[in-house]
């Protein structure tokens, strides 16, 4: 089977955003799928944010159980004009670019798998023209496609898409409410971890490797440095506690239109990390805190839980499929006092941390990327023969 993945972006060595797309694509290759990834790289965005450009076509070598296989990454250049008044034009440019590149493919794919609804709109014309089954992965923090796509195209997506893989019940509900699909076409599969990278390891050894004290209580945050994710609220909560033995790790970069950065005392690390280095920092921590305002299903939370960390996060619907009162302290994400209370509670109660750690590990024991991709491929196979618009 040859799958064409349409995505908003694809990570590079110098830009690790959307690493979850690479994790999924590489696991598809390991399970015997031929994969081509089609994304775009905006010249204007790269210039504005000083993001290094990648070659328009490259190969990624994936180690599999029986050797090594390659997948192709296509990154044609485009120009985008932001998400404001010219957002529709940006979407049209990406749609034209992806359609043109797809038509030049030497081998027609058997199936199209789009990461998020906007990426699906960018490739749906090619799918219809070539009678290729189309599937969508809905993992948006907020589905806002109606701001950039005309109603007739949304109707086209609803009729032609064979199935929708939702990362949370919240995303399934939103996809249906936005009239992008029907419940009968959806499956809920929370995000998953690469268990070869993210697993509980010795905290003592992790701290020794990083040069951190064994006696400190360490709070970990991993996400973009902006208001939505809440890094400053975590920083303010730590400052509010005012305990010099509480230290922090902030993994991420400033990104988005609402950039904020942490500034509390006792920051041990602040900045970006290659995806494969994150587990060491998580295993050095005592708790993971992410008071995010909007998610599909947070990869960072699932990865932290796989490292055995108790979680402090938002009491909002997008967390309901993975978090409960056994593995997390759920708070109002805008309430700094509640975040501080959660951190303080865990810092003085090692028995509670242990109980929540065990519960976190139990909650994600089956959320491996291998299991998730296997379930996706089974779902795709079961629905590929469905007629367009059918149930």
DSSP 16: -
Residue 15 shares a structural domain with residue 99: yes
Residue 13 shares a structural domain with residue 146: yes
Q: What angle do CA 221, 227, 233 make, to 5 degrees?
A: 55
Kindly give the interhelix angle for 336-347 and 350-363, rounded to the nearest 10 degrees: 110
Residue 155 shares a structural domain with residue 214: no
pLDDT tens digits for range 199-210: 999 999 999 999
* Distance in angstroms (rounded) separating the CA atoms of residues 307 and 279: 7
Do residues 330 and 301 make contact, with C-beta atoms less than 8 angstroms apart?
A: no
Residue 179 shares a structural domain with residue 30: yes
DSSP 216: S
The residue behind tokens 């090594």 is: 68
**Interior/surface letters 58-93, b for 16+ CB within 10 angstroms, e for the rest:** eebebeeeeeebebbbbbbebebeeeeeebeebbeb
DSSP 10: -
What CATH number is associated with residue 288?
Answer: 3.40.50.2000
In a domain, 198, yes or no: no
The tokens for 120 are: 């699906």
Residue 358 shares a structural domain with residue 310: yes
Residue 272 shares a structural domain with residue 182: no
Do residues 383 and 159 make contact, with C-beta atoms less than 8 angstroms apart?
A: no
Residues in the chain: 391
The pLDDT profile of the chain, 391 residues, written as one tens digit per residue, is: 999 999 998 887 666 667 889 999 999 999 999 999 999 999 988 888 788 888 999 999 999 888 899 999 999 999 987 666 677 999 999 999 999 999 999 999 999 999 999 999 999 999 999 999 999 999 999 999 999 999 999 999 999 999 999 999 999 999 999 999 999 999 999 999 999 999 999 999 999 999 999 999 999 999 999 999 999 999 999 999 999 999 999 999 888 778 999 999 999 999 999 889 999 999 999 999 999 999 999 999 999 999 999 999 999 999 999 999 999 999 999 999 999 999 999 999 999 999 999 999 999 999 999 999 999 999 999 998 776 544 4
Do residues 189 and 164 make contact, with C-beta atoms less than 8 angstroms apart?
A: no
pLDDT tens digits for range 357-390: 999 999 999 999 999 999 999 999 999 877 654 4
- Residue 62 belongs to what domain range? 2-192+369-383
Q: What angle do CA 202, 205, 211 make, to 5 degrees?
A: 140
């Amino acid at each position: 089977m040859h799958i064409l993945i349409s995505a908003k972006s694809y990570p590079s060595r110098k830009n690790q955003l959307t690493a979850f797309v690479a994790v999924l694509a590489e696991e598809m290759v390991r399970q015997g799928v031929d994969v081509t990834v089609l994304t775009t790289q905006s010249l204007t965005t790269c210039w504005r944010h000083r993001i290094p450009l990648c070659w328009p076509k490259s190969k990624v070598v994936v180690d599999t159980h029986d050797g090594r296989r390659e997948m192709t990454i296509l990154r044609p250049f485009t120009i985008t004009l932001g998400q404001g008044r010219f957002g529709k034009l940006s979407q049209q440019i990406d749609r034209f670019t992806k359609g043109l590149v797809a038509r030049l493919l030497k081998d027609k794919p058997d199936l199209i798998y789009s990461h998020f609804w906007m990426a699906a709109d960018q490739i749906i014309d090619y799918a219809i023209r070539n009678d290729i089954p189309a599937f969508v992965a809905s993992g948006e923090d907020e589905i806002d496609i109606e701001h950039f796509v005309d109603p007739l195209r949304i109707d086209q997506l609803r009729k032609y898409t064979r199935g929708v893989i939702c990362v949370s019940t919240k995303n399934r509900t939103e996809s249906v409410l936005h009239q992008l699909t029907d419940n009968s076409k959806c499956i809920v599969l929370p995000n998953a971890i690469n268990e070869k990278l993210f697993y509980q390891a010795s905290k003592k050894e992790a701290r020794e490797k990083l040069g951190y004290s064994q006696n400190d209580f360490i709070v970990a945050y991993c996400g973009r440095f902006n208001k939505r994710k809440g890094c400053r609220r975590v920083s303010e909560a730590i400052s509010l506690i005012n305990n010099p033995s509480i230290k922090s790790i902030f993994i991420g970069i400033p990104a988005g239109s609402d950039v904020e950065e942490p500034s509390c005392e006792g920051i041990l690390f602040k900045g970006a990390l290659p995806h494969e280095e994150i587990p060491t920092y998580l295993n050095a921590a005592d708790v993971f805190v992410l008071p995010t305002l909007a998610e599909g299903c947070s990869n960072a939370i699932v990865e932290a839980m796989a490292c055995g960390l108790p979680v402090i996060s938002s009491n909002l619907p997008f967390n309901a499929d993975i978090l409960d009162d056994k593995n997390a302290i759920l708070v109002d994400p805008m309430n700094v006092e509640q975040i501080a209370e959660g951190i303080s509670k865990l810092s003085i109660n090692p028995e509670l941390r242990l109980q929540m750690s065990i519960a976190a590990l139990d909650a994600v024991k089956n959320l491996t990327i291998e299991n998730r991709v296997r379930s996706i491929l089974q779902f795709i196979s079961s629905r590929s023969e469905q007629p367009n618009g059918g149930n």
